[in-house]
Every structure is written in structure tokens, then in C-alpha cells.
Structure 1
Amino acid sequence: MGLEQHRNEAPLALGFAVITVSDTRDETTDRGGAYLAAGLEAAGHRVVRREIIKDDAQAIVDAVRRAVGDSQVDLVLTTGGTGISVRDVTFDTLRGLFDSEIPGFGELFRWLSREEIGSATILSRAVGGLLERKVVLALPGSPKALRLALEEIVLPEAGHLVGQARA
């Protein structure tokens, strides 16, 4: 089956979970989570779960497992905690949780980011993987990075990713 046929057979309207990982954000200051939710809904998708959690490995595991366990969630997006500081634990936590990794997601994100931020893209540890046949993508927290990921990767490929994860 070719790429176009896969895309044509992919689900169109998906259910998303958006999880913000931050020690400083709350419902009034979570611009990244709000941006993702608005962009997903504008594209015809549903945001069925939205959470803000601390930069803590167990909190990340618990939130992602809750999202994956929700039958209405097709794809999980996290935002924040993908840098290299000691508090940025999203990358390591999720890599240990995934059933399998989607290496092309992080690779493509960094390649596209290079256009905007040059060699500073090496500081990003955006990562994607599968957990219980659901797609989980960990995005940085910066507004420009979220725009890039949403417009250039998530929206164009979400249905295809979910369709392949279910196959």
C-alpha cells in the first residue's frame, strides 16, 4: 500500500490529550497547551483531555498512562520538559515508558527547527513513541517550537500515525 492510500484511509477527526509539563504554568498561564488545543480544534480534531503536571517523572508516567487508557484519546501530545536541564525529565521518562520509539519524529523536528534556530536545535530532545498502540509525541514548550511541530508534523501526519499505530 502506498503513502497516498495510507493517508486516504487514515482517520480524519482524532481525539487528543494535551499534557503540559511545567513547574511554573497553571491554567491561566499555560499558553503552549492552549495553543495546541486551539490549533487541534481549528483543524477539526477534539481535545478530550488536558492536564498541567509538574516536571516530575512519576507525574509524567501517570498522566501519559491516564491519557493512553482513555478510549477517546487517539494521540497524546506533551509540551515542555524536553530540554537538557536537570529539571527536563520528559525525554528520559517517555523513552523508558514507550513500547517502541518513533525516531523519525525527533529527527524531523530538529531538522525543521534548524531553519529557525540554527545549531541550537541540538538542545531539543523532542521524542515520539508508541504506548499500548497509541502515539505519544513530546514537544518542546516554546511557542515557536509548538507552532512548527503542530503545523509541519502533527497536523499533516496525525491521521497517518494513528492509522499505522492501530494496524
Structure 2
Amino acid sequence: MKHKENPERSHPNEVRIGLVSISDRASAGTYQDEGIPALKNWLGLAITSPLSTHERLIPDDAETITETLIELVDELGCDLVLTTGGTGPGRRDVTPEATLEAGTREMPGFGEQMRQISLRFVPTAILSRQVAVLREIEGHAALIINLPGQPKSIREILEGLKDADGKILAAGIFASVPYCIDLIGGPYIEANPDIISVFRPKSAIKPRP
């Protein structure tokens, strides 16, 4: 499937990120969504490249989730899509299944590392079912990652854990996101090293202009 034409990027390295909060209550207006504001705040601090976001607040409905992820990638040209919510064992927690439906290939390392980080805080982290996938269409590809719903957990998983001296105890998953985007043909994402230390092989690091 070829994606629809979308507006030109404001800069060659502009990264387009879709932010999807999945919650029956928040989408119905009975609960204040905290996922998207937490994501926007962290991304604004962490990413130093030009950045644009597309936000969606939707219910825990598998078909709606899949359609939303496809829209963000195929029609709006997002390079990265981050979802929050709906990854537990409850009957209405269908985000992982809907994400797999939208993906063309799974990226299991992200889910493995997310659970390793969360297990440092609560044993119930093993109940989390977050997944990550690539969605690949003609001329474009994107990385889609499920995140938890709590702002504190979102930051910990993206940023990782450090001790009092700043030594990394567990690498945050975002450390690997820019290089993944490189490998699938997306823009070159740079980050604030005070927030997250992005890893790339030396051969993949571009000199600053």
C-alpha cells in the first residue's frame, strides 16, 4: 500500500511522531488524559531535532486502535508512533493485539527492556504486554511502540534508570530509537544527552554542521 501525499517536512530531519492515548474513560471525557501530556513534555526535553506531533485520544477498541496507527503512518507520514495505555491483562486491554495487526514485523527487544525496567519497581511488571512493531509500506516505514499509561512509568521507560552519580542502571528504550529510525530510512534524530544518551555505531554518527 502506498501512503497518501502529506505536507513537506519543515526540515529534512524533522521527525514526525504520533502520540496515541488509549482509554475508554479519557476518550469519553470522564477522566483527564495524562499520557499525551507526559509524552509531549518528555519528547520536548529529549529531542533537539525539529519535531512535529500528531495526537489521538481513542477508546480501548482494537479496530479503532489499528486504524489509527495505520492512519498516522500511511497518511500523515509519522516516523515514530508512541501509544500509552491498554497493555495489561484486562479484557479491554487490546493495544498489543491491535498494534501487531498494524505492524509488518515485530521488534521484541523493546518490550523485553520495558519490562526489565519496570520490574525494578514492581513485581507486577510481568503482567505488562507492551509490544513494538515496524509498519512498512511503499516508500515509508515507521516504528510503533506501546508504552504504559502512568507518566512516571513513561519517563522511566523512555529515559532509563540512573544512580545518584548518574551511572546508567538500565538503559531507556529511547536510546535505541534514533538508530532504528535511521535503519528504516527515517530522519536523523538528535537528542539532549542530559536527558537521554542516544547510541549509534561510530559509522552511523553524522558530524554536526
TM-score, normalized by length of structure 1? Answer: 0.84
Partner of residue 8, structure 2: none
Partner of residue 156, structure 2: 148
Given residue 88 of structure 2, which amino acid in structure 1 is its aligned partner?
G
Q: What CA distance in whole angstroms lies between the structure 1 residues aligned with 2:113 and 2:184? A: 19
Given residue 134 of structure 2, which amino acid in structure 1 is its aligned partner?
L
Which whole-Å deviations, capped at 9, do the CAs of 1:78-124 have from their partners, x for residues lacking one?
A: 0001001000000112123310000000001101111111x211110
Decide whether the 8 Å contact of 1:18 with 1:47 is kept in 2: no
Give the structure with the higher percent helix: 1
Q: 1:122 aligns with which of 119, 126, 130?
A: 126
TM-score, normalized by length of structure 2? Answer: 0.68
Report how far residue 154 of structure 1 moved.
4.4
Q: What CA distance in whole angstroms lies between the structure 2 residues aligned with 1:60 and 1:162? A: 22
Which stretch shows the higher mean deviation, 65-74 or 137-146?
65-74
Partner of residue 5, structure 1: none
Runs of 4+ in 1 over 6 A off after TM superposition: none
Decide whether the 8 Å contact of 1:48 with 1:72 is kept in 2: no
Where do residues 1-167 of structure 1 align in structure 2 (5 Å cutoff)?
Answer: 14-26=15-27, 29-43=32-46, 44=48, 46-117=51-122, 119-132=123-136, 133-152=141-160, 153-166=172-185
Given residue 40 of structure 1, which amino acid in structure 2 is its aligned partner?
L
Which whole-Å deviations, capped at 9, do the CAs of 1:112-167 have from their partners, x for residues lacking one?
A: 111111x2111101110101221000111122321112213343222112112228
Q: Please tell me the root mean square deviation across aligned C-alpha atoms, in Å.
A: 2.1
Given residue 43 of structure 2, which amino acid in structure 1 is its aligned partner?
L
Q: What CA distance in whole angstroms lies between the structure 2 residues aligned with 1:36 and 1:94? A: 18
Report how far residue 71 of structure 1 moved.
4.9
Q: What CA distance in whole angstroms lies between the structure 2 residues aligned with 1:13 and 1:112? A: 29
Q: What CA distance in whole angstroms lies between the structure 2 residues aligned with 1:155 and 1:13? A: 17
Unaligned 5+ runs, structure 2 = 1-11, 161-171, 187-209
Q: What CA distance in whole angstroms lies between the structure 2 residues aligned with 1:14 and 1:155? A: 14
Given residue 41 of structure 1, which amino acid in structure 2 is its aligned partner?
G
Which whole-Å deviations, capped at 9, do the CAs of 1:44-100 have from their partners, x for residues lacking one?
A: 352420010010011101110111124552100000010010000001121233100
**Higher relative contact order structure (alpha carbons within 8 Å, sequence separation ≥ 6):** 1
Q: What CA distance in whole angstroms lies between the structure 1 residues aligned with 2:173 and 2:14? A: 13
Q: What CA distance in whole angstroms lies between the structure 2 residues aligned with 1:154 and 1:68? A: 20
Paired residue total: 156
